[in-house]
Structure 1
Amino acid sequence: MTDDSHIISRIIAHMNKDHVHNLEDYLVVYSHVDSEIAKRNPTLETLSLSSMTISYIDMHGTKCFIRIPFEPTLQSYRDSRNKLVEMAQKAAAKRGFSEYLINDIPFKFKDWITVFLFISLYIFAYDPSILQYLIGDQLLNLSSDVQSYIMDYHITVFRTILIIHCLEAIVILYPLLRKFRMSTLKKMTCLLLCMMEGMVFLSSFKVAVDEAQNPKKPKN
């Protein structure tokens, strides 16, 4: 059997840098550590063919160590990646999360346009005189019938859009934000953007989900 123990340090460094949330899941699911305590600096300390050891800081500030066995025992350290991924998927699923994490708010140039349009609708609903000025004789000079139609229904249109976007934010986006463990502040920002953009923001977030689940492999 080829000795591949030289990759242990690389695996440990990678887990501690990019997969802290998975270490937290391991502690909660496989060692029944309280979920709030498991968030306190979970660190992969050691890795062997039979187990891994993860540390965390308890409520008294004491560093605690938990050994989590591998079942069955690994045949080589190169098998550890698949094993850690498998354990991460199962642990995250039991907690109602994804094994992947999304930290960045997907906001691109097209989002600025959509937000601008939504804010414009809000301003027109708040102060219809501004809309009347834009569509009236002073600027666009629309026909009186068109002006009357716009002024009669623009508030209804704005309210309908807002209700639909709020439903999309609550029913579709919020479960995704929770599943991918976005921080509270960023979660609120995403919900606000969805209330303004609706499906435009949802499509951007789903692209971010796809990128998280199918990361591009670094070139050698």
Structure 2
Amino acid sequence: MDASAARIAEHMNKDHQLALIDYLVVYGHVVHLDESSPAITNVDLEKVSIDYVSKNRAATFTIKWKDATEDEVIEVKEWSDIKAKLIAMAKYAAHKQGYAHTRLTQVFGPPFAYLIVAYPTLVLLAINSYDPTILPRIFGNDALFLKLVSYLPQAVPSAYSLFVEYSRKIGLVLYALHTIEIFKYTLPVLRKYRASKSVAWKWILMHFVEGFPVIGRLREATH
């Protein structure tokens, strides 16, 4: 491999494993692929060769540029064309499977002000919706907690009592809406961008607690 080919192979193998997987699945019709195995071993002005493992067997698949269907119909005539060809192939191969050509790996948490104000309120709403006696059982006989409460204006405990009284009704409606939003928007986006389980569950949990503000952050993370 000459220097140009080596640079392309190193870059793709290090930073674009997802594209290599998609090339093998769509162009090579490879099944039972070990997704950690694909690696470009040769690239020139005519083709790219990818080594991989499937069903515990090593193999090589070669894609000729002239045979690689993609929407931009890029011809490889010189080394500078290969990058554009690989990107177009990655987009095409991902789209054919119903995916985006990039993977969602980031989790954007809420702004600090939202975290310290809205999150505690929404968590309290969830707890009181489930069982309004949980918190009194935990803190009702705690001397320090009762002393702190005694310093609060009378309006605060009164407002909290009202909050507890209507928590179940508010919570049922609010978290039902959040759940619908998750199934209608968040889950499809997480699938499209092939988020890992750990990343996906963080987004789902945030959406269940927060609701629609998560949609804006998810859009930011996928664009």
Query: Structure 2 matches for 1:1-220, cutoff 5 A?
Result: 6-34=3-31, 36-37=32-33, 39-60=35-56, 62-71=57-66, 74-110=76-112, 112-113=115-116, 114-125=118-129, 126-127=131-132, 138=150, 139-142=152-155, 150-210=163-223
Distance 1:196 1:186 in 2: 16
How large is the Cα RMSD of the aligned pairs?
A: 2.7
- How far off is 1:144 after superposition? 10
Conserved 8 A contact 1:43-1:54: yes
Structure 1 residues 44 and 146, CA gap change in structure 2 (3 angstroms): same
1:44 partner letter: I
Aligned to 2:71: none
1:51 partner letter: K
Structure 1 residues 149 and 121, CA gap change in structure 2 (3 angstroms): closer
- How far off is 1:39 after superposition? 1.9
Structure 1 residues 120 and 75, CA gap change in structure 2 (3 angstroms): same
Q: Output the TM-score relative to the length of structure 2.
A: 0.79
Structure 1 residues 160 and 140, CA gap change in structure 2 (3 angstroms): farther
Q: Output the TM-score relative to the length of structure 1.
A: 0.80
Conserved 8 A contact 1:49-1:73: no
Distance 1:7 1:144 in 2: 71
1:29 partner letter: V
Aligned to 2:69: none
Conserved 8 A contact 1:118-1:197: yes
Report runs of 4+ in structure 1 exceeding 6 Å deviation: 143-148
- Which structure 1 segments of 5+ residues have no match? 211-220
Structure 1 residues 119 and 73, CA gap change in structure 2 (3 angstroms): same
Structure 1 residues 187 and 143, CA gap change in structure 2 (3 angstroms): closer
Distance 2:160 2:80 in 1: 70
Point out the more displaced range, 6-15 or 109-118.
109-118
Deviations, residues 132-185 of structure 1 (Å, cap 9, x unaligned)? x99xx9544239996775454222111111111111111101111011111123
Distance 1:143 1:17 in 2: 56
Identity rate, percent: 24
Deviations, residues 193-215 of structure 1 (Å, cap 9, x unaligned)? 211111122211111111xxxxx
Distance 1:31 1:102 in 2: 25
Point out the more displaced range, 87-96 or 9-18.
9-18
Structure 1 residues 42 and 141, CA gap change in structure 2 (3 angstroms): same
